[in-house]
Chain A
Amino acid sequence: QVQLVESGGGVVQPGRSLRLSCAASEFTFSRYAMHWVRQAPGKGLEWLAVISYDGSNKYDADSVKGRFTISRDNSKNTLYLQMNSLRSEDTAVYYCARDGAYSSSWYGPYYGLDVWGQGTTVTVSS
């Protein structure tokens, strides 16, 4: 079935880097915009970043701009989140998610996040 599986989480010291991966299966990955969303312990959901279906457009939330980079490899059906200069406040469960709009323009229309991964936990601690 349609599936997203995140990996790459773990415990990392402040200031270090980590790269998360999100492997997609059973759908045409290269035709969908993809997103990263995180949830700190006991908190709500925080939208982080989006990349267009072909990788030509990206947008980051201010909270991670300049530190996190979203990317994708459509030949490998995989989404990435490179996280640099990690801080304690980046501790969270990180989810990748699909925008359900097929081959949508960068400017929309969008659909909403219809497929989510199970999440991968990142803990930033010394």
Chain B
Amino acid sequence: DIQMTQSPSTLSASVGDRVTITCRASQTISNWLAWYQQKPGKAPKLLIYKASSLESGVPSRFSGSGSGTEFTLTISSLQPDDFATYHCQHYNSYPWTFGQGTKVEIK
């Protein structure tokens, strides 16, 4: 199975900061990677698919990049609504797996 490793596990940042989260796959997954945002008590929400494609309705301050085994999610200017946990997930082949999550906290 493909393992997904996110870093950092927790990130403290301020409103307006540029934030970058990294996700590494244990083997190449081309660009079959998604990013999700999850707030406490809520279901995850798809932000990015195919590594860099922005899901409809998602603000343009979110962007994704990478291919192969290294991927990043960037929030260009952190907004109050962005404090949440972010998860990466590969969908190169079954079984799909998620990273352990990155919690973005208020500094």
Q: Are A59 and B94 in contact (CB under 8 A)?
A: yes
Q: Given contacts A114-B46, A116-B43, are A47 and B96 in contact (CB under 8 A)? A: yes
Q: Are B91 and A110 in contact (CB under 8 A)?
A: yes
Type the 1/0 row for B24-50, where 1 means its CB is closer than 8 Å to any CB of A: 000000001010101000111110011
The interface size bin for chain A is: 20 to 34
Q: Are A113 and B95 in contact (CB under 8 A)?
A: no
Which of B50, B95, B99, B101 sits near A61, CB closer than 8 Å?
B95
Q: Given contacts A44-B87, A119-B43, are A112 and B49 in contact (CB under 8 A)? A: yes
Chain B residues with CB under 8 Å of chain A are 1, 32, 34, 36, 38, 42-46, 49-50, 55, 87, 89, 91, 94-101
Per the bound structure, the CA–CA distance linking A45 and B106 in Å amounts to: 22
Q: Given contacts A45-B89, A62-B1, are A116 and B96 in contact (CB under 8 A)? A: no
Q: Are A116 and B45 in contact (CB under 8 A)?
A: yes
Enumerate chain B residues within 8 angstroms of A45, measured Cβ to Cβ: 36, 38, 44, 87, 89, 98, 101
